[in-house]
Amino acid sequence: MSHHHRTNQRKRVAQEAAGMLYTGQEKEYKQAKLRAAKILGVRVLPSNAEVAMELNRIAEEREGKTRQERLVQMRGEALQIMRVLRNFGPILVGSVWRGTAHRNSDIDIATYAKNPQEIVSTLQKNKYPIKRTEIQTVTKKGKKGQSFHIYVDFPSNNHAEIVVRSPEDISCQVRCEIYGDIVTGSTIKQLLRVLEDNPKQKFLPT
């Protein structure tokens, strides 16, 4: 197979996978790529970053200017909820931190607590309606661990997913599954600065 043909196939798979992620048919990049390759009957898989590029293009085409407005709104909502959770070391991660959010994106926030219920009650006390909570089992480097997820709805119809991690994980560096860089995220202070200086700023590896 020629190099050009392979590149073409990778692009087609990336476009197909991005479409599934955009419409919410698939939630995970890996699943979306495998399904897209199967549909197209090819064996070439693009990188997650290539899929992210196509996803960005689709969102740009379909959402135009409202996309940037929504990003700024979601960053503002993230700041509000992070202030409420300030005792739990909240960090904004995911597409709202990156600046690549689209209309189906959630606000992703990492927090640290020994007891996830403390975060649940703090949110309830501050009148944040909790849609549901769940425990997810994650295997990292062969070790099984559990993370606690809290799903919150905003009056604006935006959603937040708050992951509660163990306090001893606070210094663990997490590598991004999409871009391959280290996820630094934004603290309250950093997010405040972004909203004041350049609310649409993107945080992508160069």
> pLDDT tens digit string along 121-134?
999 999 999 999 99
**Per-residue pLDDT band at 149 (split at 50, 70, 90):** very high
60: its two tokens: 């740009």
Question: Are the C-beta atoms of residues 122 and 113 closer than 8 Å to each other?
Answer: no
State pTM to two decimals: 0.89
87: its two tokens: 């005792």
Least confident residue range of 96-100, 135-139, 154-158, 164-168? 135-139
Least confident residue range of 11-15, 67-71, 170-174? 170-174
pLDDT at 140 over 90: no
pLDDT at 106 over 80: yes
Q: Name the architecture of domain 65-197.
A: 2-Layer Sandwich (3.30)
pLDDT at 142 over 80: no
| Mean pLDDT, the chain, integer | 93
Give me the mean pLDDT over the 37-53 stretch.
95
Region of 98 please: left (phi>0), alpha (psi -120 to 50) or beta: alpha
Please tell me which residue, 76 or 171, carries the higher pLDDT value: 76
Residue ranges of the domains in the chain? Answer: 3-46, 65-197
Cα–Cα distances (Å) from 111 to 101, 131, 140, 181, 198, in that order, read 20, 18, 18, 20, 25
**pLDDT for the residue numbered 169:** 86
**Per-residue pLDDT band at 1 (split at 50, 70, 90):** low
Give the residue from 20, 22, 23, 53 showing the smallest Cα distance to 34: 20
Give me the mean pLDDT over the 172-189 stretch.
92
pLDDT at 53 over 90: yes
